[in-house]
């Protein structure tokens, strides 16, 4: 990548917030904790192709209770019709929507997280308005879309 572009992207990171680079909750592919992992749902998961799926409370699409890792489903047989909540979910960490992109990039560099929730409520951080992955933060830094591997 062109160094000038990277420096330009880096300088702007402090002025932009999580809300600018998140994937809005309406566009997030999530599953209810109650959802049955039958053949139909498994096919939807594979067609989407995401590696992490936010899991929401049955009565509220915005209340994210954990993250389902698709790698945990590789040996799963859809005929057993388990529910999402029968799997061990990864805890979902939340950041406030005003957090700047530089802090977010640092957090992804330090932590083991790949995906965080974005919330505009400090009292209720698991009420998500969006999600963010490491890739969203890195794309912001280098100023262009990463062609997916």
Q: Which residues lie near ligand ADP (CB under 6 A)?
A: 23, 27-29, 50-53, 131, 133, 135-136
The nearer residue to ligand ADP, 4 or 147, going by C-beta atoms, is 147
Beta carbon of residue 68, minimum distance to ligand ADP (angstroms, whole number): 9
The answer to whether the beta carbons of residues 35 and 83 sit under 8 Å apart is: yes
Beta carbon of residue 137, minimum distance to ligand ADP (angstroms, whole number): 10
Beta carbon of residue 61, minimum distance to ligand ADP (angstroms, whole number): 12
β 130-133/52-57 pair status? unpaired
The nearer residue to ligand ADP, 46 or 83, going by C-beta atoms, is 46
The nearer residue to ligand ADP, 7 or 24, going by C-beta atoms, is 24
The residue to which tokens 């993250």 are assigned: 67
The nearer residue to ligand ADP, 102 or 137, going by C-beta atoms, is 137
Beta carbon of residue 134, minimum distance to ligand ADP (angstroms, whole number): 6
The dihedrals phi and psi of 65, each to the nearest 5 degrees, come to: -100, -10
Q: Cα dist. 123→16, 90, 95 in Å?
A: 23, 21, 12
Burial of 11 (0-12, 13-18, 19+ CB in 10 A): exposed
Q: Which residue is nearest to ligand ADP (CB)?
A: 133
């Amino acid at each position: 990548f062109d160094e000038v572009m990277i420096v330009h992207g880096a300088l702007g990171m402090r002025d932009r917030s999580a809300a600018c680079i998140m994937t809005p909750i309406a566009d997030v592919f999530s599953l209810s904790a109650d959802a049955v992992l039958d053949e139909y749902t498994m096919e939807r998961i594979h067609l989407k192709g995401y590696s992490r799926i936010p899991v929401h409370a049955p009565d509220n699409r915005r209340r994210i209770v954990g993250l389902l890792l698709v790698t945990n489903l590789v040996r799963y047989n859809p005929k057993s019709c388990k529910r999402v909540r029968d799997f061990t979910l990864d805890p979902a960490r939340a950041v406030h929507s005003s957090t700047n992109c530089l802090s977010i990039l640092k957090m992804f560099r330090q932590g083991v997280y790949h995906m965080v929730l974005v919330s505009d409520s400090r009292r209720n951080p698991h009420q998500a308005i969006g999600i963010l992955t490491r890739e969203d933060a890195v794309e912001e830094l280098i100023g262009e879309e990463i062609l997916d591997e």
